[in-house]
Amino acid sequence: MRIATGRLGRVALGAAALLFAGVAAAQPAAPARKPNIVILLADDWGFTDVGAFGAEYATPNLDALAKEGVRFSNFHVAGSCSPTRSMLQTGVMNHRTGLANMPETIPDEHKGKPGYDTVMNHRVVTIGQMLRAAGYRTYLTGKWHLGGDQARLPHSRGYDRAFALEASGADNFEKRPIEAMYSTADWTENGKPADLPKDYYSSRFVVEKAIDYIERDRASGKPFLASINFLANHIPVQAPDADIARYAGQYHEGWTKLREARARRAAALGVMPANTRLVTMPTTRDWATLDAEEKLAAMRVMQVYAAMATAMDREVGRLVAHLKKTGDYENTIFIFTSDNGAEPTDPYNRQLNRALLGLRYDTSTANIGRRNSFSAIGPSWASAAASPLSGYKFSATEGGLRVPLIVAWPGQVQGGRIASALTHVTDLVPTIAELTGTPMHGGQWEGRAVEPVTGRSLAPLLRGEATSVRGDDAPLGYELSGNAALFRGDHKLVRNLPPTGDGKWRLFDIVRDPGETHDLSAEMPERFAALMADYRAYARANGVLEMPAGYTADKQINKFSMRQQGAKQIGIMAAWAVGVILLFALPFWWMRRRRRRARGIN
């Protein structure tokens, strides 16, 4: 058969081409590959604890993600870990997730009250459940702290594979609990008790495990969600020797100088206004009053803190390098943030604590940050880590609630930008849902009513299509352990109980005064009254309970610790009692048996 030639042939070929083109056009386009999601959740990092936000130590891999993506400079979480983690997982406010308070900080009077479950309840749906239903592989490694029974561990809350710690923290070098707080380090894999490798270091392990899970199921061809939850930089502050050595000699000028330097860097980087006013927390000691040994110990613990952050950042870099090698990098959305501000707790602030920790750890200055150490930066360094903000973890100050957020999608999101809009941890679930094309559940899941997602998608900010996701009249309430806030527009109504506050309500413009230095309540009485009304409405709607007289989170943590120690000591005493009984009873039984046998009695 000859191919047609000449004008007629050309017409016929052209018609055929148009016909085939029309058929091709009528075919549906191949669906775009859904993006992978990587959540990188740091523990207890303050606002300027990343180089791209003002840190003086090295975080080059997080800084590279910041360059590829968007930095959020007005992003808020809860004042402690579990409430934030429950909101990040569900997009629902903590009083509705069951984490109105944590096991370690809840007063006895609140236990069992609605919303005060101290574990993530079953009235909420996790991002793992949502994405798994949408065809994703789902993985979680590291800290969970949202419930330790089989129905609440991550393998039951939407994660195909999970290697998780059900505690607020643990040792970073071995399977050892925070011994003043817990009796065991409850690591599980897919709900079963799990051991750690001999060369375990927490940041390295949680990334290695995530990579292992991703590769184990690669043949499925499905996109993945990897929620990687670091122990860095939670107490105990620990890091590899080589990383600690990197910062030898630093921090000799003390926390106040560091706080000032970080404020300048944050302004230069554009994540804070220039000339932001600073307050000095009443818990910040005067560096000049420390003796030589105290200064050496203080310098050393901050060197370890810096080393721990750098060690974590290196593992982020290893994950990124792996995803580049496998071709996943440019189709992966990275979300980095912290669960709350820097940790101010000083575990050596009571004589009993010092005695117990001294028996169980090598507390010498030379051993700070190494194996068998138990160290914390304390409130003075924590204030510097939150610079230029006021306060730190547990409080409702900006230093407790405002943390760094980086969202990067290489090639899809214009990098290097800063979003200054008021944003919240509940916004991450709807953001992920929109970017992945995953339907929101709308308050119904598997035939039952669940709490609806209340966050707002940040996708318009990522695309540069908007400057805000909340209008000036949209209130955003918060409460934890009696410390409370109500955000609306540029203003924040806030109350902090002792030791970081006096229980009085104050009003701040956190856009122009993020350091919360100038109370506007007397100057703006109408605005103050309106936000107070908003907070009361939030508290009623969410079942917020007032704290018992004299309550502080620090006191409650010590009370929890003493109960744990008491239970442990009772167990030890019971074991000793059994041992003593056996020690005396066995010889008696043996001698009696010999006499009976000698008399011919069986």
Give pLDDT tens digits for 399-443: 999 999 999 999 999 999 999 999 999 999 999 999 999 999 999
pLDDT over 70 percentage in the chain: 89
3-state secondary structure of 314: helix
What percent helix, strand, coil does the chain show, rounded to 5? 40, 15, 45
What number is the average pLDDT over the span 180-184? Answer: 89
Alpha helices in 391-427 (DSSP H): 398-401
User: 205 or 592: whose pLDDT is higher?
Assistant: 205
Residue 585: pLDDT over 90:
no
The distance of Cα 397 from the centroid of its chain, to the nearest Å, equals 17
pLDDT in tens, 302-341: 999 999 999 999 999 999 999 999 999 999 999 999 999 9
Q: Which pLDDT band holds residue 127 (cuts at 50, 70, 90)? A: very high
- Is 145 annotated in the active site? yes
User: 586 or 172: whose pLDDT is higher?
Assistant: 172
- Is 322 annotated in the active site? no
Residue 487: pLDDT over 60:
yes
What number is the average pLDDT over the span 174-197? Answer: 95
At residue 301, the pLDDT reads: 98
* Contact yes or no for 530/537 (Cβ under 8 A): no
What number is the average pLDDT over the span 591-598? Answer: 66
d(CA 85, CA 80): 9
Residue 574: pLDDT over 70:
no
Q: Which pLDDT band holds residue 179 (cuts at 50, 70, 90)? A: confident
What number is the average pLDDT over the span 505-528? Answer: 98
Residue 561: pLDDT over 80:
no
Question: Please, what is the average pLDDT of the chain?
Answer: 91
At residue 49, the pLDDT reads: 98
pLDDT in tens, 359-411: 999 999 999 999 999 999 999 999 999 999 999 999 999 999 999 999 999 99
* Contact yes or no for 241/370 (Cβ under 8 A): yes
What number is the average pLDDT over the span 87-113? Answer: 97
At residue 558, the pLDDT reads: 83
Residue pointed to by tokens 């011919």: 600
3-state secondary structure of 376: coil
Residue from 87, 198, 225, 208 nearest 142 by CA:
208
Catalytic residue among 81, 95, 155, 234: 81
Catalytic residue among 76, 95, 110, 145: 145
d(CA 83, CA 101): 7
At residue 586, the pLDDT reads: 62
| Structure-token pair, residue 501 | 């506050």
Residue from 261, 191, 201 nearest 231 by CA:
201
pLDDT in tens, 9-43: 443 334 434 333 343 344 444 457 899 999 999 99
At residue 80, the pLDDT reads: 97
| Structure-token pair, residue 473 | 């009249």
Instruction: List Cα–Cα distances, 384 to 57, 85, 461, in angstroms.
Output: 13, 24, 29
What number is the average pLDDT over the span 262-284? Answer: 97
At residue 181, the pLDDT reads: 87
| Structure-token pair, residue 164 | 């998780």
Q: What is the 3-state secondary structure (H, E, C) of 56-119?
A: CCCCHHHHHHHHHCEEECCEECCCCHHHHHHHHHHCCCHHHHCCCCCCCCCCHHHCCCCCCCCC
Residue 512: pLDDT over 80:
yes
3-state secondary structure of 337: strand
Instruction: List Cα–Cα distances, 461 to 67, 151, 423, 456, 581, in angstroms.
Output: 16, 36, 10, 11, 70
At residue 600, the pLDDT reads: 60
Contacts of 329 (CB under 8 A, 6+ apart): 320, 323, 410
At residue 591, the pLDDT reads: 67
